[in-house]
Amino acid sequence: MPKTVYGLKNLLTLLTRLENRGLQNAGDEWWDEVLLNPAEPTSTVHHCQSPVLRSLDEAKRCMAALKEVQDHLGKRIRFLRKKCLPLILEDGIKALPDEILAQIFEAGYDVSLGWTFTRAVSQVSHHFRQVSLCTPLLWTRLSSHYFPDQVACFLSRSGHKGLEISTLHYDSNKKLRRFLQNLQPHSDRWTTLRHFDKKAEDTMRYIGCKDLPCMKSLHHHCNIYCPPSELPSLFYGISRVLSPRPIIHSRLTSFEFVADFRRDHFVDLSPLGNALNNMRNLKHLSVTLIGCSYNKTGRTKIRGLHSVPIDTLHVNITGRTSSPLLHSLYQHLSCLLPSIAHVTLADIRDIQTGERLFHLCTGDETKLIFPYGSVINITDLGVDYRFWTTTEVPLLTLLVKNCKIAHTINFEVRGMSFISRSIAEDDWKYFSALRHLRFTRCDSLTEWELTALVTNLIRSAEHGKGLQSLEVFDCRGISEECLLDLSDEVGSKLTWKL
């Protein structure tokens, strides 16, 4: 039996008035032309009530009917999409020229890892396989766990494209040596070297792999389960001068450094600093420290503050990474001026680290703030906020006061405050460069903070200044009613989802 949609008659009447009069302001009198139907169970008013109450009841009934119709229509659309999608894809793909299909494959390959994507598209159909075999880029990733015939097959299909080499997952030094020896004749095509560590470096020197003229991206992975006596050799391996050097730092445009210490090993980052000083063409840098402690054994000359522009900087801090090591890292990175800075914090439980997550103390007792960049992204994947003291300056205020070039800030942090209740009127001037602000799963964000941001950075801002977009997604401390009220004030500049 068909389900009755209560309020549908009221909705149809409203839509008729909309057709005749057009969409007008919510306060106009024509919204009060209500037609009650007391027989419907959702009716809660009587004819004797005031027109305003009758109008409110009518609007609620229309909204309830609209929502129910919308839900059913959404189900219908999803059903039809599922039915149509295979037909649309089949017709569209058949009509695509092979050159366009190859470009689609290349785009998918660029955002994937390993050769899983290559294997997937080459096994869809005979047509897909022929196109993939004629697309050299799909065959340029080579890993040390490949069999020799697989390596030869990839090399034959890769044409003259640059090669991405990974030394991860090798079973033995002998297998790694055979893998690198097979690739050595093509070393002039190596553009990326992943999971480069001490064993890989020693093997390359052993077989005489002396020059990599096209190397642009290096992933240096320090996953140490070795005696501490081997650490200096490992760390200086990325910055020491070899004759000839297997890695020419000045050519690198991308560098990823991972230090994973599970047995209380100590880290000296001065070799990393020396290596960064030699990377004159660096555009993308990623540094990951996992449970590391600090040990200073060397000295590094650090270039001028924010004097080296790069495109992206990723910093990932995990576990019980010590506060002195964090300070040392910030010092070595303080010369950089990234367009986009990403900071990810995970499982931070050390009390000193918690208090100094974003502080860089200089020698003259002043404090600088890290990160620094035009776009700042801060993600919290687990921080013990008992160690974030109440005397700390709220995070958003801290950033805008100390990073005057930041025009976009994105937060995904659960336990920090963003602005102070006692913020002075004059302090809002520090927010003048900010244009885009996003809060995602920021459970500690309060309604008064959000209201203050809207009032001072959107509603009171001059045309073309202030926040151009404010996004709030899945923040538990913000109610739907608050968001609806603010949306009525600032319109499309506020985007939200609960």
List the end-to-end C-alpha distance of the chain, in Å, as a whole number: 35
pLDDT tens by residue, 406-429:
999 999 988 788 998 888 888 899
Please report which confidence band the pLDDT of residue 373 belongs to, taking 50, 70 and 90 as the band edges: very high
Of 205-219, 232-246, 276-290, the poorest mean pLDDT is in 232-246
Q: Is the pLDDT of residue 354 over 60?
A: no
Predicted local confidence at residue 6, as pLDDT: 81
- Report the distance separating Cα 287 and Cα 448, nearest Å: 36
pLDDT tens by residue, 227-261:
333 333 333 334 332 323 445 567 778 888 887 76
Predicted local confidence at residue 156, as pLDDT: 94
Instruction: Give the residue-averaged pLDDT of 258-285.
Output: 76
- Report the distance separating Cα 185 and Cα 151, nearest Å: 13
Please report which confidence band the pLDDT of residue 385 belongs to, taking 50, 70 and 90 as the band edges: low
pLDDT tens by residue, 467-488:
999 999 999 999 999 999 999 9
Of 42-51, 395-404, 485-494, the poorest mean pLDDT is in 42-51
Q: Is the pLDDT of residue 141 over 70?
A: yes
Predicted local confidence at residue 367, as pLDDT: 60
**Domain-by-domain residue ranges, the chain?**
8-94, 96-139, 144-497
Are the C-beta atoms of residues 311 and 339 closer than 8 Å to each other?
yes
- Report the distance separating Cα 54 and Cα 248, nearest Å: 78
325 token code pair? 């090591």
Cis amide linkage into residue 148, ω under 30° from 0: no
Predicted local confidence at residue 251, as pLDDT: 75
Q: Is the pLDDT of residue 434 over 70?
A: yes
Predicted local confidence at residue 467, as pLDDT: 93
CATH for 144-497 (1.10.3470, 3.80.10, 3.40.50, 3.30.70): 3.80.10
Predicted local confidence at residue 416, as pLDDT: 80
Q: Is the pLDDT of residue 380 over 60?
A: yes
Instruction: Give the residue-averaged pLDDT of 349-359.
Output: 57
Predicted local confidence at residue 92, as pLDDT: 75
User: Please, what is the Cα angle at 438 between 449 and 447, to 5 degrees?
Assistant: 20
Give strand pairing partners of 473: 440, 497
Please report which confidence band the pLDDT of residue 496 belongs to, taking 50, 70 and 90 as the band edges: very high
Predicted local confidence at residue 197, as pLDDT: 72
Burial of 175 (0-12, 13-18, 19+ CB in 10 A): middle
Are the C-beta atoms of residues 45 and 53 closer than 8 Å to each other?
yes
Predicted local confidence at residue 495, as pLDDT: 94
Instruction: Give the residue-averaged pLDDT of 398-405.
Output: 89
Q: Which residue has the higher pLDDT, 308 or 384?
A: 308
